Structure 1
Amino acid sequence: MKTFIVSGGEPKSPLEFYKKIINESDILIAVDKGIELYKKLDTEPDYLIGDLDSASQESIEWAESNDVEIIKYRPEKDFTDIDLAIDFAINNNSDEIIISGFLGDRLDHIFGALLLLKKYSENIMFKEEFLEISKAPKKLEMNVIPGEIWSLFSLSEKTEGIYLKGFKYPLKNGTLFINNPIGISNETIDNTIEISYEKGCLIYFRWKV
Structure 2
Amino acid sequence: MEGNRVLIFAGGNIDPKFLKDIRQDDMIIGADRGALFLVEHGISPDISVGDFDSVSPQELDHIKNNSKEIIACDAVNKDLTDTELAFDLAIERHAADIVMIGVLGSRLDHTLSNIQMMLRGMQHQINSAIWDTNNYVTLTGTSCEVEDRGYTYVSLLPLTPEVTGIHLEGFMYPLENATLKMGQSLAISNRLTDRKGTVRIESGLLLIIQSKD
TM-score, length of structure 1 as denominator length: 0.88
Partners of 2:83 and 2:149 lie apart in 1 by: 31
The alpha carbon displacement at 1:66 in A equals: 2.6
Q: How big is the shift at 1:147? A: 7.7
Identity over aligned residues, as a percent?
Answer: 30
Cα pair 2:51 2:82 within 8 Å, conserved: yes
Say yes or no: does 1:138 pair with 2:142: yes
> Where does residue 55 of structure 2 map in the other structure?
55
CA distance in 1 between counterparts of 2:184 and 2:203 reads 17
- Distance in 2 separating the partners of 1:2 and 1:170: 31
Q: Which amino acid aligns with 1:4?
A: L
Contact 1:34–1:55, Cα closer than 8 Å, also in 2: no
Of 13, 17, 20, the match for 1:10? 13
Q: Could you tell me how far apart the structure 2 residues matched to 1:145 and 1:109 are?
A: 25
Aligned pairs for 1:1-150 (under 5 A) are 1-11=4-14, 13=15, 15=16, 17-75=17-75, 76-121=77-122, 122-136=126-140, 138-144=142-148, 148-150=152-154
| Comparing 195-204 and 165-174, the one that deviates more | 165-174
Q: Following TM superposition, by how much is the alpha carbon of 1:208 offset from its aligned partner in structure 2, in angstroms?
A: 5.9
Alignment deviations for residues 133-174 of structure 1 (CA, whole Å, 9 cap, x no partner): 111351223443798301111111111111112222211111
Query: Separation in 2 of the partners of 1:50 and 1:145?
Result: 31
- What's the CA shift string for 1:153-204, capped at 9, x where partnerless? 1111111111112222211111111233432211222333110001111111
Q: Tell me the matched-pair count.
A: 206
Post-superposition shift, 1:58? 2.5
Equivalent position amino acid for 1:91 in 2: E
Q: Which runs of 4+ in 1 moved over 4 A?
A: none
Structure 1 portions without partners, runs of 5+ = none
Pairwise CA RMSD of aligned residues? 2.2
Alignment of 1:154 onto 2:140: no
Greater shift, 75-84 or 104-113, is seen at 75-84
Change (3 A) 1:68 1:103: same
Unaligned residue ranges in structure 2 (runs of 5+)? none
Instruction: Single out whichever of 2-11 and 188-197 deviates more from structure 2.
Output: 188-197
Q: Mark the CA change 1:67 to 1:202 in structure 2 (over 3 Å): closer, same or farther.
A: closer
Following the alignment from structure 1 to structure 2, what is the Cα–Cα distance between the partners of residues 54 and 23? Answer: 28
CA 89–174 in structure 1, closer or farther in 2 if over 3 Å, else same: same
SS at 2:157 equivalent: strand
Counterpart contact for 1:147–1:187, Cα < 8 Å: no
In the TM superposition, residue 64 of structure 1 has moved relative to its aligned partner by 1.6
Give the Cα–Cα distance (whole angstroms) in 1 for the partners of residues 184 and 176 of structure 2: 18
Shift of residue 67 of structure 1?
A: 4.7
